[in-house]
A and B are shown apart, each in its own frame.
Chain A
Amino acid sequence: MIRFATSITPNPEAISRLTDEVTGFLRSSGVDARAAHHVALVIEEILTNVATHGGSPDAPATVSLEVQPDRVSGEIGDCGGPFDPRTGPVPDFGTPIEDRKIGGLGLHLVRQLTSVLEYRCDGKQNWTTFCVPREQGRG
C-alpha cells in the first residue's frame, strides 16, 4: 500500500501547494487523473473550510492518504471547532443566476466526489475520513 502523510497550516497558498503536491504524488503512484483531481479537490475544500470557519487558523492540520487498488482513502485532522462536513446547506440550484447565492459549493463538492465520508470529533480534533474511487484500468 502506498501512503502519503504531511501536516499543514491551512492558508490558501499552503493549501494550493499541498493539493498540487498530492496530485503529483497520486499520478506518480498510478492513480487515474480523475481520481487524483478529486482527491486533491476534497482536501482543498475541507482545509479551506477549516481555514475560513475553523477558528484556529494557525493550528496545523494533518493529511494522510492511502492508495488502494480500487480507491484512495484519506484522513484529515484539524483543530478547528467541531464541524461535520456531511451536514450543511445544499447550494441553491433552482434560483436564476442573477439571484443565486454563491455559498455551499465546497462542501457540496466534497459530498458528491466521495464514496465514503465520515466524521468524528475526539474532543480535541476533528477527524474527517473519505474515499474516492479509482477508475479501474486507468493509470
Chain B
Amino acid sequence: MDVSEQQVGRVWVVTARGRLDGATSGAFAQRVEALVTGAEPRLLVDFSGVEFVSSAGLRVVLALLKKVKGVRGSFALCAVQPAVREVLEITGFAGMIDIHPERAAALTALS
C-alpha cells in the first residue's frame, strides 16, 4: 500500500492506494497515527485509490477514529470505492464515520 500525506490548512490529508489488509494495516496505522498530535487534530483519509479493505483494515480505521475522537479531533474519509463502501455499511462503520463523496467537500467540512 502506498501512503502519502499533505497538510491543507489545519487538515492532514492522507492519500492511500492499494489494499488495506492484514499485511499492510500495521504500517498504515503507524504512519497515520503519527499525524494525530496536539489538540483537536483534523484528519482526512482519501480512499479513492483503496480497492480492498479487510477486517484488519477496519480495525486500524476504528483505532484511528478512537484516537482522534479521544483528543476531540475530527476524522473523515472521502472518495470511497463502491465495494469498500459496502463493507463499511455492512460493518456499521458508515454510521460512525463521516464519509464524503469528494475530497473538496470533506476539506470544507473539516476546515
Q: Which A residues contact B (CB, under 8 angstroms)? A: 12-13, 15-16, 19-20, 23, 33-34, 37-38, 40-41, 44-45, 48, 91, 93, 97-98, 100, 102, 105-106, 108-109, 112-113
* Contact, CB under 8 Å: A38 / B91: no
Residue pair A16, B21 in contact (C-beta under 8 Å): yes
- By secondary structure, the B interface counts as helix
Q: Mark B60-89, 1 if CB is under 8 A from A, else 0.
A: 001101100110000000000011101100
B105 at the interface (CB under 8 A from A): no
Q: For the complex, is B33 an interface residue (Cβ under 8 Å from A)?
A: no
Residues of B within 8 A of A (CB): 19, 21-24, 51-52, 54-56, 58-59, 62-63, 65-66, 69-70, 82-84, 86-87, 90-92, 96
Chain B residues in 8 Å Cβ range of A108:
90-91
Report the Cα distance A38→B83, complex, angstroms. Answer: 8
Contact across chains for A48 and B22 when beta carbons are under 8 A apart: yes
Please pick, from A16, A93, A97, A109, the residue contacting B55 in the complex, using a CB distance under 8 A: A109
Bound Cα distance A109, B15 (Å): 25
Query: Are A91 and B91 touching (Cβ within 8 A)?
Result: yes
Does B82 lie within 8 Å of A34, measured CB to CB?
Answer: yes
* Cβ distance A83 to chain B, nearest Cβ, rounded Å: 16
